[in-house]
Chains A and B, each alone.
Chain A
Amino acid sequence: MTYLPAFLLAEAGRTRLLSLSSVDLAIVTIYFVAVLAIGFYLKGKSETGEDFFLAGREMTAWIAGLSFVSANLGALELMGWAAAAYQYGILAAHWYWVGAIPAMLFLGVVMMPFYYISKTHSVPGYLQLRYGESSRALAAVSFGFMTVLMSGINMYSMALVMKVVLGWDIHFSIWVSSLTVAAYVALGGLRSAIFNEVLQFMLIWLGALLIPILGLIEAGGWTGLQARIAHELGRTDYTHLWRTMGNFGDNPMGIHWTGIVLGLGWVISFGYWTTDFLVVQRVLAAKDLRAAKLAPIIGAGFKMMVPFIVILPGLLALGLLPIKLTGEAQAVATGGHSYNEVLPLMLARYCGPGLLGLGITALIAGFMSGMAGNVSAFATVWTYDIYRAFVRKDAPDAHYVKMGRWCTILGVLVSIGTAYLVMQFLSIMDYVQALFSFFIAPLFGTVLLGMLWKRATPAGGFWGLLSGTVSSVAMWAWVKVDPSALSIIALSPKAKDMAENMYRALWSWLICVTVTVVVSLLTAPKPEKELKGLVYGCTVLPSEQHLPLWKRPIFWAAVVAVVFVVLQVIFW
């Protein structure tokens, strides 16, 4: 049989990569009906604040864990990391393994007890309990602001993908998908978002899994794929995780293992997975402490497998596609295809009618789960940490639920506005993405010290967070003004952009921690009785000794950790 994909038959000036058949369109349409049905079904079950913002705190470990990992599994993440795998090889898997697993296990085993026992509604809420209103205000305003902006950027990017891949009108994609998300989150609150995320998780896997299966059959297994890539590129480093990390110049990312381990694996990863409320909110909805501890561990188990549907397709494209993919600018200039089109191209390669619809539904599901995560987290932080804290303190619960519903709609509308703004001024996208990264690393320093060091004071927490954030902005601006500064921040003249993010995060975290420690030692600590339930050493953690070994979260964390280490060794 001859392989004649649509994109090879199309002219250079084509407007789409794929064409959907009526079966594919039916599959996509049924998906929209299903997510709305879930929202309407759960409408009457979210009447209290606890129901709407924390899903009644009654999710099982499995539901919370799948939702936890699904909220992060956006479509742009799927397509972006498949593209990165094509560009940088298996090094991209670091973002799923060392850049996620240790942090997720740490959240489950060490940090979750404090989040959960403190009964906080949010991460800024924890900062208020531990450090006071000023730290909460700084974290809440920055998180709320950045969340809706990021949501808008993702919305625009996804609409652009739908236009390029399917030829769909960009306005149609923005409005239909965002209004669907607004409807089901406003109707059912976090419970609806979580239930839909579980559904989306299943669809993402079932829609994307066929590519690596058929790809490996075609390539002759992993060994065959390695041989094909080595033959195509004339080098073998694209299929090794750590072997080429000893020197900045020895790998396509231009990064050293210290940047990956300390910058990505420690600061960025721990910052994102343990303090970004977008993901932590899912775990706070767990029904009890054991479920809350197990949820991130279950999430880690699934996260560890995601490279199979994201990184492997990129590598398969590298070894199997008859065409060479290039950067976006070159693709536009030559009428070719860019790295970012890896996943749709692989879908076109293996998926006929029906399966193509399932794959596209997986992308749409990924987009909507990410967006629902953003708006539900925004609604909670706005309502509890800004509106209730600073605008109206003593309103009845029903008032805050109403505010949460309106915030969901408002958050989506602001996101849509941002999407249109980005459409007009593309450079905004880079700035906002950089802005988001400014807060993550310092926030991790503040929360970590707050949980593990009872001497940390409110003044220390606030000034540490502020100085870490400001220093991150300053380093970013420094490199923008003087690109040669990159070699100072990343400690090597051979460092590339990716290394800058790692080292900037590391320095800003160190500055945050140093300032927090110094200011704390110079100021009066809180009395220990006020730290009960918030800090290690002042909190009685429930014993799990009565549980059989296989029911203890620490046991499953150890299992996931062992598999993680084995994967590093296999792909060394």
Chain B
Amino acid sequence: MSEQKYVISIWLFIGVLLLIYGVLIVASGIYDLYYPPAQVTVLGNLHPQIWWGALLVILGGIYTWKFRPGKG
């Protein structure tokens, strides 16, 4: 991919951002587990913050690792 000729690929920016977002959202979900908010969302019992945040962490982690600077 030609954009890889730059030191930092756009996919790395995306990976790091998703990783940060994932960590923040999972942390927020865990906090809500222990301190449930006064207003809950529909299907909040499924804890979407935790599994969606985890998905972002996984996606972000894969992109960050695969497109890290200096690789290949």
Contacts and interface: CB of A to CB of B under 8 A. Distances in A.
Nearest to A21: B28
A287 interface: yes
A30 B37 contact: no
A567 B5 CA distance: 39
A353 B42 contact: no
Best-surrounded residue of B2, B41, B48 (most CB of chain A within 10 A): B41
A2 B14 contact: no
20 contacts: A1-B45, A2-B40, A3-B40, A23-B28, A34-B13, A62-B1, A63-B10, A195-B13, A198-B14, A199-B14, A199-B17, A210-B48, A349-B41, A349-B42, A350-B48, A351-B48, A352-B37, A352-B48, A354-B53, A355-B48
Contacts of B44: 1, 352
Interface string B1-17: 11100101010011001
A470 B16 CA distance: 51
A494 interface: no
B28 A58 contact: no
Contacts of B46: 214, 217
Given A60-B2, A354-B25, A38 B13 contact: yes
A499 to B, nearest CB: 37
Interface string A1-39: 111111001000000000001010011001100100110
Best-surrounded residue of B24, B32, B53 (most CB of chain A within 10 A): B24
A355 B39 contact: no
A19 to B, nearest CB: 10
B32 A353 contact: yes
Contact of B10 (A4, A31, A195, A287): A195
Interface residues of A, number: 44
Nearest to A3: B42
B42 A202 contact: no
Contacts of B37: 352-353
A541 interface: no
A358 interface: yes
Contact of B40 (A1, A31, A203): A1
A5 B39 contact: yes
Best-surrounded residue of A4, A26, A59, A195 (most CB of chain B within 10 A): A195
Contacts of A31: 17
Interface in B11-52: 13-14, 17-18, 20-21, 24-25, 27-29, 32, 37-46, 48-49, 52
A58 B4 CA distance: 11
Given A4-B39, A199-B10, A214 B48 contact: yes
A388 interface: no
B32 A214 contact: no
Interface in A298-348: 348
B3 A350 contact: no
A242 B28 CA distance: 44
B68 to A, nearest CB: 15
Interface string B40-70: 1111111011001100100100000000000
B28 A218 contact: no
A30 B20 contact: yes
Given A34-B17, A195-B10, A202-B18, A355 B52 contact: yes
Contacts of B41: 3, 5, 348-352
B56 to A, nearest CB: 7
A161 B40 CA distance: 24
B24 to A, nearest CB: 6
A354 B49 contact: yes
Interface in A59-100: 59-60, 62-63
A5 B46 CA distance: 17
Contacts of B53: 354
A206 B46 CA distance: 18
A43 to B, nearest CB: 12
A145 interface: no
Contacts of A1: 40, 44-45
A350 B42 CA distance: 5
A302 to B, nearest CB: 15
List the 5 shortest-distance A-B pairs measured between CB atoms, nearest first. Answer: A354-B25, A354-B28, A195-B10, A58-B2, A23-B28
A358 B25 contact: yes
Contacts of A198: 10, 14
Given A37-B13, A60-B2, A354 B40 contact: no
A4 B3 contact: no
Contacts of A30: 17, 20-21
Contacts of A214: 42-43, 46, 48
A353 B48 CA distance: 11
A534 B41 CA distance: 57
Contacts of A358: 21, 25
Given A38-B13, A287-B2, A352-B48, 11 more contacts: A4-B40, A26-B24, A31-B17, A34-B17, A58-B3, A206-B56, A210-B52, A218-B43, A353-B49, A354-B25, A355-B25
A228 to B, nearest CB: 14
Contacts of B40: 1-4, 352
B69 to A, nearest CB: 12
Contacts of A23: 24-25, 27-28
Given A26-B24, A353-B37, A355-B48, A202 B14 contact: yes
A521 to B, nearest CB: 45
Contacts of B14: 198-199, 202
A291 to B, nearest CB: 9
A350 B10 contact: no
Contacts of A34: 13, 17
A41 interface: yes
A497 to B, nearest CB: 35
A1 B29 CA distance: 16
